[in-house]
Amino acid sequence: MANVSFYIGIVGNVISLLVFLSPIGTFKTVVKKKSTLNYKGLPYISTLLSTTLWCFYGVLNPDGLLVLTINGAGATLQLIYVILFLIYAPKEIKVKHMKLVAILNVGFFGTVIAVAYIAIDESFRLTFAGILCAGFTIGMYASPLSVMRTVIKTKSVEYMPFFLSFFLFINAGVWSTYAVLVKDYYILVPNSIGFVLGTAQLVIYGMYKKSSDALKKKAIEMESFDEEAQKNPSLNKGNSLPKPSLSRQYSVQKVIKTHSLDHPQSQKKFKTVDLF
């Protein structure tokens, strides 16, 4: 059983690494466009906190080598993502996220370490770290809920990276299996919840993928039409109505004036008329 759990843990490490690497495509786009667009920074900040807490748990746990190694790699990658997000985010969002980083990833994490070694007995230290890790891992899996809401609202999956959702789903399933085998409930509880949320993300992605593709196709067609219109100005002629001729304007004004003379009561109504 120990060997089985170890190999499943290795598989979990490989999949977790793929999860941590999956936002690379997103950040290539961010760097290329020099903008964070509509991408959210909270998932990367919360994941950075989660991975550093799991590193602490792995240090305290005598059997935590697999947990320590993968979360050490994850923390390094998340730090890079957070730095890139802060570089290219708009000023208002940048300030907001810098405050979050200072509060969560520096202040809170530092407080946890201090409390664990100063105020917590050694026999309870692992439990203390495990509870915190479980709580923040649930937060990591729940953080894409805001993106799910955006997908439902816009009927577009543009800002829900498929591979990130897919690997989170697989990752949660594998680590849940590992946790059952080694009887580690601090790993089992959050990953079971992550498995459910990952399933929900994939369902929503499947529901809105077609409508998202249709919107993207329409946008491309409109962009292509605009480019063609710029090259060929005659295409825009049909977009405006012809102005009435002077003779037509004179005729209309004459009819109105005649009507006013024939009906004195209507002079008040048609005192000033400007149709064009």
pLDDT along the chain (276 residues), means of 10: 82 90 89 88 88 94 91 95 94 93 94 94 92 85 78 81 80 92 91 90 87 64 62 55 46 44 43 36
CB distance 159 to 36 below 8 Å: no
pLDDT of residue 262: 45
Q: What is the largest CA-CA distance in the chain?
A: 106
User: Tokens 């102005």 correspond to what residue?
Assistant: 243
CA dihedral 128, 131, 136, 142 (to 10 degrees): -170
pLDDT of residue 125: 93
pLDDT of residue 162: 81
pLDDT of residue 136: 81
pLDDT of residue 48: 92
Among residues 4, 36, 6, 10, which one has the least CA distance to residue 23?
36
Among residues 37, 234, 262, 16, which one has the least CA distance to residue 147?
37
- For 121, phi then psi, to 5°, come to -65, 145
pLDDT of residue 58: 94
Tens of pLDDT, residues 45-89 = 988 998 999 999 999 998 888 999 999 999 999 999 999 999 999
pLDDT of residue 69: 94
Q: Which tokens hold the place of 190?
A: 């959050």
Separation of alpha carbons 104 and 45, rounded Å: 8
pLDDT of residue 47: 85
Separation of alpha carbons 147 and 136, rounded Å: 18
Average pLDDT of the residues of the chain: 80
pTM over 0.85: no
pLDDT of residue 253: 46
**Which secondary-structure segment (H or E) carries 218?**
helix 185-231
